[in-house]
């Protein structure tokens, strides 16, 4: 690798020029719905958002004070709430989305999650909170497990709602079990 001073600052030049000619720029488009308020949604979705907001009130978040609520609607009709559970050993804490997901799958191991609502009642601003990276990974694992997408509804109380049609939408180029297949060592 050679470094040269170009018009845009320092640039790396590679003696293996073919590496550059083989590169392609690819694009991933993110499609989601933005609803102006909960009132714009069907009753089932409003009910799920209400359950998530209610769950947030019981969250155990003495350290961050950032109370998050989640609620799942299973294909079989059950509603499963969850909230964040923090710990003095910070990494031991768990997010609301995974609390709800793991609680559901512990009792319904063949269950299919149709939708998950996520609400942070005391969030600043008007942008709904979206799941952290670990929760996205956990939700994508569940999509693989149930071989179908999970709708996400992320809402500000009585305000705007972001809806995605799958968890994978929020985690493109994700890692999954297909990449664990062992290859012969070279």
Residues that bind Zn ion (CB under 5 A): 95, 132, 135
Q: Are strands 113-119 and 151-155 parallel, antiparallel or unpaired?
A: parallel
CB of 8 to Zn ion, least distance (A): 38
How far, in Å, CA of 39 to CA of 159, rounded? Answer: 9
How far, in Å, CA of 180 to CA of 67, rounded? Answer: 35
CB of 124 to Zn ion, least distance (A): 18
CB of 102 to Zn ion, least distance (A): 12
If the CB atoms of residues 36 and 132 are measured against Zn ion, the closer one turns out to be 132
Q: Which candidate in 86, 97, 163, 168 is catalytic?
A: 97
CB of 132 to Zn ion, least distance (A): 3
Cβ atoms 122, 69 nearer than 8 A: no
If the CB atoms of residues 41 and 154 are measured against Zn ion, the closer one turns out to be 154
Q: Which residue is nearest to Zn ion (CB)?
A: 95
50 given a catalytic annotation: no
If the CB atoms of residues 82 and 149 are measured against Zn ion, the closer one turns out to be 82
Beta carbons within 8 Å of 167's beta carbon, 6+ residues apart: 131, 136, 139, 140, 142, 143, 149, 150, 152
How far, in Å, CA of 155 to CA of 36, rounded? Answer: 10
Cα–Cα distance list, 176 to 56, 102, 138, 142 (Å): 30, 18, 10, 11
CB of 134 to Zn ion, least distance (A): 5
If the CB atoms of residues 41 and 99 are measured against Zn ion, the closer one turns out to be 99
Report phi then psi at 54, rounded to 5.
Answer: -65, -40
If the CB atoms of residues 51 and 135 are measured against Zn ion, the closer one turns out to be 135
Give the residue numbers marked as catalytic.
97
């Amino acid at each position: 690798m050679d470094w040269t001073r170009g018009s845009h600052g320092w640039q790396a030049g590679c003696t293996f020029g073919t590496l550059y000619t083989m590169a392609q720029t690819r694009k991933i488009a993110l499609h989601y719905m933005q609803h102006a308020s909960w009132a714009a949604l069907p009753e089932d979705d409003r009910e799920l958002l209400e359950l998530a907001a209610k769950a947030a009130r019981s969250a155990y978040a003495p350290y961050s004070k950032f109370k998050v609520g989640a609620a799942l609607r299973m294909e079989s009709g059950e509603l499963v709430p969850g909230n964040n559970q923090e710990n003095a050993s910070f990494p031991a804490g768990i997010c609301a989305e995974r609390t709800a997901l793991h609680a559901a799958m512990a009792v319904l191991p063949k269950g299919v999650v149709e939708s998950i609502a996520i609400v942070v009642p005391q969030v600043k601003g008007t942008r709904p909170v979206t799941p952290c990276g670990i929760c996205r990974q956990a939700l994508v694992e569940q999509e693989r497990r149930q071989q179908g997408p999970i709708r996400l509804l992320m809402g500000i109380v009585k305000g705007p709602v972001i809806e995605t049609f799958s968890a994978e939408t929020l985690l493109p180029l994700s890692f999954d079990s297909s990449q664990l297949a062992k290859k012969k060592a070279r």
